[in-house]
Each structure stands twice: as C-alpha cells, then as structure tokens.
C-alpha cells in the first residue's frame, strides 16, 4: 500500500492519505511529503497534536491521534525552513450527484463551471478545485510549481461512474501554473497534459494551464437585453472579418501585435466609422502555431495570450457592444492538433478523437477529428460554445469546416473512409451533434453560422423540420461564381453572364451570408482587387461595382479586412494591413465607397429586410448578356419601399438605357459607384430621373438612364406609390 503511494500507482489515494478512523479510539493521518525532513500535525490554532513518523524513506509520514477527528494542518520542515499547509486529502468531493448524473448522460451544458480549475472555498479554506475527465487513466495528478511538478504528490480522486478525477488543493489561487500528469492503464506516464477546460494558458513552449478567475464588470446590459431576446433575420448585417494579429501592428514596438485594449481603442472606432454592424474575429481560442490563424485550437476554453488576458478580451467585446457592434467568433469543433500536451491520446487512449484513422485523422490538415458519437465529447463542445456566449458575451459563432463534419468521405479516397450503418457517407453522429448544438445555442440567445461548402440541404432550417438548425449559412457558391465572373475581361463577360444570375435560383433556399472571406485572399489567390481586369482605373471601377452588387444582392454581407480599401497584396498574417495606401486617392475612394455603402445599406430596409424570401427580390432584366447589364428590384416588408438596382459590367457608358419600374414619379439616384468622390468618372443622372409612361420589362413605367461605365446605380422613388 505505502509502496503504491510512493510510486504514484495507487488506484485510490484518498483511501490512504488524509484522515481516517482506524480504531474505536484513534484516527490516522497519512501524508506524502518527499521534500520534507519532518512533519507535525497541528490544530487550527497551531497547537501540536502529533509528531508524524516517517513510514517510508521516500517521504511518507503517519500519525495516530485520539478521536474525534477534527480539522488540522500540517507543519512541514523543509530545506528552506518551516511552513504550514492544509492537507488536501482531508477535504471531500465538490462534485455533486446531479453533476455526475448529467455528465454521464452527456447533457451537462455547464461543464465549464465544474471541470477545469476554479478558485473556491471549501470548509472555510480557500484554494482551487481541479476536475478532469480521463476515464481510462490509472492515475491522474495535478502538478505545477507548487509541488515541483511531482505527480506523486497530488494524485486525484476518481468518480468511476463518469470517469472524472477531481481534487481541492487548499492554499492555491489565481495565477497558478498547472498541468495534469496522467498514467495510462499500461502503466506509462504520458507527457504532461494541459487542462481541456483551462481558461488561460501559458505561451509556448511551456503551454501550462493557468488558474483564472474573472473579475470583469460588464457594461453591455442594454445590448444583451436587446439582442438576446430573439433572432431577427430582418435586420442588416454587414460583417467586418478580422485577424487581430495583422489588422494593424505597432511598428514602434518591433512590429508587435496590438493588445485587446489597444484594439478596443482603434479597431472598434474604425469599424463603427465604416458603418459595419458586426466584427467577425478569426479564432481566438488558444493555438500553438501562429500560422494556423487559430484554426488548430488546443485550448478551447482559453482566449489566446497573444493579445492580453481574458478580462482584456472581455473589455474588447464589451467595447464593441457599447458602440452598437455585434461580435462573431470563428469556432472550430471539426478538428484539433496532435500536440502531445493537448487533447490527443489524452488518458492513454483515443479519448476525444476516433481510434480508427479513417475516422479520426484529417488528411488535409494533419489534425485529429473529434469523436462526436461519444456523448462526453459532444457535451464538451456544446458546453464550450455556451461558454463563449455566456462568459464572453459573444453574439454568434461561425462554425468552421462544417462539410468536413457532415461527410465521412470528406477529402478521402475510396478505401480511406468508413461508411455509416446504411453504407452511406453521411456522418449521423455529426448531424445529431450539430442539431443539438444549434438548438442549445439558440435557446441561450446566440446565433450560429455554418461555413458549409457543399449542397447539403436545409443547413439553416430548424432541426424539427429536418434541417441542421444553423441561423445562417455562408454562400460559398455565390462567392465562387461571382468572383469568377468579375475576373473576366469585360469583352468576354457576356459568355459568363449566368455566373451572376445563377445564385438567384437558390438564393432563398437558405439564410445566406455572402462572404468575401480571408480564404479568398491567401494561398496564391491574390487580393480581391488583384482579380480585377484592366488598367488601374478599370481595376478600381470593377472593384467598386462588385462591392455594390454584393450589397444589393439578397443575403447578409461579410468582407475580410483590407478589401474595404482595395489592398492589392495578398493577406500576410505576419504583417499589418497596408494602411499607407490610403494616401492614394484610388484606395481612399474605395474606402469612402464602402463607408457610404454600409450606411446606405443600414438605412435602406429594402436592402436587408426581406433577404430570405422571394418577395424581397425581383428581376427587372437578367437577360441582357450582350451588354453585360443586370437590373433588379429589392423590396422591404412594405413592397412600395423598393429600390432599383442597375449594374453595368462593361467600360462603356450607356445613354438612354431603358429600365422598367413599378411606380411612376421621380427616382432619386441614391448611390452611384462611379461618383468622382470614389475615384470614378462622374457619369450619371444628375441626382434624379423621372419615370416615363413607357412600358418596359413588364412594367407600365420606365426610366431612361445614363449608365456609367463599370458601375452600379441604386435608385429609389421620391414619392412611393405602386
């Protein structure tokens, strides 16, 4: 028995260590203190109760005391002198019956309140409660500087029904470094493991977990009350996607990152001034490699150390809300890296990942795939999603790589994947997980956005009707088609006309977001501006036209940082955006156009209110491929509040171009992407044009317009009446 304690192999250390009644007259205290030369048992007032006897040369001490058992402390004699500690083995479990029941069921969606490390008080003594799921381990210990990283010193208590190990360590507090030492069933001690529920992590190469207790006082009550009551699909959504590490760098500090607080002072006012409604941040969960951009998370509950402490991240989110800006964070439940200190082979078995590499290893990214068929793993991820929504007040989660979850043969060749029980390629466990995730997040007032790259049906339809239950889905097909079209020389665009119209055949099958994301400005694709054909003038005119078309097309909007001022270079995550380009009238013009577009969009219900129903859109003419011109109507809930959109995708000015409209009267030219202020030629309609009683395009009235070259027009009737 003593030998097993000393070797760190005892299956139930709490049955040996700490206080135990041994006879009708005596109780025993046993402690393992290998660093101590002597140990005494004292009471809370410091009175000696017993000198402990060394019963094993490695440092195991024991003493017998007369009953009754009462609170005590241990006085240690060490090389540095004497110190008094509380005995962690005299404290009972803090994990309740209900917690264990819900864990076993896989429905404990507040796991983050129970697992991990939590400063707390037990029997009037302050310390830290540690809990970790490792059902196949022979032994789990908390290690850190407080015990010289010695796994024999603090082996934990196992709750075998749920596979959770837990322990209260008195005397520890916020800021302590720690890891878990796990011994597998084969007797092998694994590399030290970071806590899967750690709320802070040490930078590499240490990668230790850090005990954290938030003291942040939120100021966004009004925002939360207004935005968490219901999901409003009829509101404007113009998203600025940003990588915090490269939006702007501090060159005076050696090109260093801006902190969360500095970003609150610079990024948030910029986004507000530009008129965006939301910021979407690339993943900010802890990740070991900068070049993964956060998409290989190793600390799912820890905000990254790169920009500051967790409460400083909360300050950034709070500041967004105080400025009326929603916050979306990329969230990665599809895979995780193989780093030995992380989730991989966590308890000596394939715990979080599939054991079969045909299911558990991602061929594209070299990462491991969560075993979503295991209720504890599904529970872990859903608890994590709610953690970011509740603890950090994140408004929405953009769920990465959904297609890789849904398909068992995703990016795999024949023979490299395992079919489901019906012989198909659908991942039923992932489908169940996603439906439960979305239902649970929605119940807590959050929004979910799917990055799903296939034609999987009903991604943004409720689970009860057979859908996956996401709030929105990225329309990657629209992005691919329209970028392919706009990259064509205008002389050839008539042969690719359907690339701009095809999206409307399925535009209302999902609640779509139209993304121009970070994935489109990396890996040799060039920037959005670099795709544009022609000379400098034409490149910028095409860019302004394309952005205008984006903002008038049904669907919410997303644009990656730098595109809003036409950065010509590909995104480099190690460098700041090229802000100096704003000294150029070309780039400043694009930025001004985007600022005006955002404000016009937010102020014009016809451009956002009926995004996901056919009633909000009507083609005027989608067949003028010879002139590469598209014209259409956007309508609000009140169909009389319509706007007319006309896009000329050639560098030719079209005079007296007739466009049918549903109402008589004058139409104000509320936006013209060819305006001189944006760097355009200034062609247009002198601010307004009167509808003629000339039928066209199936309407009784029509406008005779001057269409600027490579430009988009938005017009609205001055006196509404249909």
The single residue of 166, 176, 280, 400 carrying the catalytic annotation is: 400
> In whole angstroms, what is the distance from residue 450 CA to residue 466 CA?
16
> In whole angstroms, what is the distance from residue 664 CA to residue 636 CA?
18
Per DSSP, what are the bridge partners of residue 75? 40, 84
Residue from 95, 125, 126 nearest 110 by CA? 95
Structure tokens, 603: 């102020």
Is the C-alpha dihedral spanning 205, 210, 215, 216 positive or negative?
A: positive
φ/ψ of 196, rounded to 5, equals -60, -20
**Alpha carbon 50 to chain centroid distance?**
55
Angstrom distances, CA of residue 401 to CA of 327, 365, 377, 417, 454: 20, 11, 18, 18, 11
Give the count of alpha carbons within 13 A of 91, CB side only.
26
Structure tokens, 6: 């000393």
Structure tokens, 436: 């439960």
> In whole angstroms, what is the distance from residue 333 CA to residue 400 CA?
7
The single residue of 451, 452, 520, 611 carrying the catalytic annotation is: 451
Residue by residue, DSSP assigns 579-601 as GGGGGSHHHHHHHHHHHHHHHHH
Residue from 423, 393, 426, 435 nearest 408 by CA? 426
> In whole angstroms, what is the distance from residue 529 CA to residue 539 CA?
7
> In whole angstroms, what is the distance from residue 370 CA to residue 329 CA?
20
Residue from 224, 40, 256, 213 nearest 118 by CA? 213
Say which DSSP state 708 is in.
Answer: P
Other Cβ atoms less than 10 A from the Cβ of 693: the count is 8
Per DSSP, what are the bridge partners of residue 209? 178, 201
Say which DSSP state 477 is in.
Answer: H
3 state DSSP class of 157: strand
> In whole angstroms, what is the distance from residue 588 CA to residue 584 CA?
6
252 labelled catalytic: no
Residue with tokens 């000329």: 648
- Which three-class secondary structure string do you get for 633-694? EECCCCCCCCEEEEEECCCCCEEEEEEEECCCCEEEEEEECCCHHHCCCCCCCCCEEECECC
Q: Give the list of residues 6+ apart from residue 689 with CB closer than 8 angstroms, or none.
A: 666, 667, 669, 703, 704, 705, 715
Structure tokens, 449: 């956005």
Residue from 680, 667, 683, 574 nearest 257 by CA? 574
> In whole angstroms, what is the distance from residue 479 CA to residue 487 CA?
12
Alpha helices per DSSP H over 286-401: 310-322, 357-360, 375-390
Residue from 300, 254, 238, 285 nearest 564 by CA? 238
Structure tokens, 536: 């400098």
Structure tokens, 103: 């864990």
∠ Cα 566 245 255 (to 5°): 90
400 labelled catalytic: yes
Give the count of alpha carbons within 13 A of 676, CB side only.
3
Structure tokens, 663: 């109402």
- Residues assigned a catalytic role: 400, 451
């Amino acid at each position: 028995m003593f030998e097993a304690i000393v070797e760190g192999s005892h299956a139930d250390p709490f049955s040996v260590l700490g206080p135990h009644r041994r006879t009708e007259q005596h109780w025993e205290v046993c402690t393992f203190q290998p660093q101590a030369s002597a140990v005494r048992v004292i009471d809370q007032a410091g009175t000696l109760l017993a000198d402990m006897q060394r019963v094993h040369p490695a440092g195991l001490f024991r003493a017998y005391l007369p009953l009754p058992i009462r609170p005590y402390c241990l006085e240690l004699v060490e090389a540095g002198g004497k110190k008094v500690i509380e005995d962690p083995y005299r404290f009972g479990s803090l994990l309740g019956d209900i917690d264990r029941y819900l864990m076993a069921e896989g429905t404990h969606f507040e796991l983050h309140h129970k697992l991990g490390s939590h400063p707390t008080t037990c029997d009037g003594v302050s310390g830290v409660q540690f809990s970790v799921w490792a059902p196949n381990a022979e032994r789990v210990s908390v290690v850190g500087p407080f015990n010289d990283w010695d796994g024999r010193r603090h082996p934990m208590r196992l709750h075998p029904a749920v596979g959770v190990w837990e322990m209260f360590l008195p005397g520890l507090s916020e800021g302590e470094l720690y890891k878990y030492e796990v011994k597998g069933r084969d007797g092998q001690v694994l590399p030290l493991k970071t806590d899967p529920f750690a709320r802070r992590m040490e930078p590499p190469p240490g990668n230790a977990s850090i005990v954290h207790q938030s003291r942040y006082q939120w100021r966004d009550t009004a925002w939360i009350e207004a935005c968490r009551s219901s999901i409003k699909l009829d509101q404007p959504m113009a998203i600025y996607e940003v990588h915090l590490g490269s939006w702007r760098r501090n060159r005076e500090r050696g090109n260093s990152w801006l902190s969360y607080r500095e970003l609150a002072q610079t990024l948030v006012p910029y986004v507000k001034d530009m008129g965006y409604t939301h910021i979407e941040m690339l993943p900010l969960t802890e990740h070991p490699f900068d070049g993964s951009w956060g998409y290989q998370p190793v600390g799912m509950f820890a905000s990254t150390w790169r920009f500051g402490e967790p409460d400083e991240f909360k300050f950034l989110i709070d500041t967004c809300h105080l400025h009326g800006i929603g916050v979306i964070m990329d969230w990665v439940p599809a895979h995780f890296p193989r780093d030995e200190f992380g989730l991989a082979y966590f308890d000596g078995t394939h715990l979080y990942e599939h054991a079969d590499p045909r299911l558990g290893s991602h061929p594209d990214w070299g990462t491991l795939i969560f075993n979503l068929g295991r209720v504890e793993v599904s529970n872990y991820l859903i608890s994590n999603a709610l953690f970011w929504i509740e603890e950090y007040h994140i408004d929405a989660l953009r769920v990465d790589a959904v297609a890789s979850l849904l398909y068992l043969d995703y990016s795999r060749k024949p023979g490299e994947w395992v079919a489901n029980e019906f012989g198909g390629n659908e991942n039923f466990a992932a489908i169940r997980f996603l439906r439960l995730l979305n239902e649970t997040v929605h119940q807590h007032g959050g929004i979910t956005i799917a990055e799903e790259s296939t034609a999987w049906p009903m991604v943004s339809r409720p689970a009860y009707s057979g859908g996956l239950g996401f709030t929105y889905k990225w329309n990657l097909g629209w992005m691919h088609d329209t970028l392919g079209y706009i990259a064509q020389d205008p002389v050839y665009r008539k042969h690719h006309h359907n690339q701009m119209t095809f999206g409307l055949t399925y535009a209302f099958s999902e609640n779509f977001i139209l993304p121009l994301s970070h994935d489109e400005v990396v890996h040799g694709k060039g920037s959005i501006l670099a795709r544009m054909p022609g000379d400098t003038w034409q490149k910028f005119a095409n860019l302004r036209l394309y952005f205008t078309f984006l903002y008038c097309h049904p669907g919410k909007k997303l644009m990656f940082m730098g595109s809003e001022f036409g950065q010509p270079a590909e995104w480099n995550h190690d460098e700041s955006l090229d802000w100096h380009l704003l000294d150029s009238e070309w780039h400043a013009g694009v930025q001004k156009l985007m600022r005006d577009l955002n404000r016009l969009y937010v102020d014009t219900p016809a451009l956002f209110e009926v995004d996901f129903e056919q009633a909000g859109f009507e083609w005027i003419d989608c067949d003028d491929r010879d002139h590469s011109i598209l014209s259409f109507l956007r309508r609000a809930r009140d169909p009389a509040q319509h706007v007319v959109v006309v896009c000329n995708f050639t560098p030719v000015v079209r005079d007296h171009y007739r466009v049918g409209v549903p109402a008589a009267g004058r139409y104000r030219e509320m936006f013209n992407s060819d305006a001189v202020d944006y760097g355009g030629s200034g062609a247009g309609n002198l601010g307004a044009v009167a509808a003629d009683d000339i039928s066209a395009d199936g309407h009784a009235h029509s406008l005779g317009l001057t269409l600027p070259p490579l430009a988009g027009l938005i017009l609205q009737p001055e006196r509404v009446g249909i």
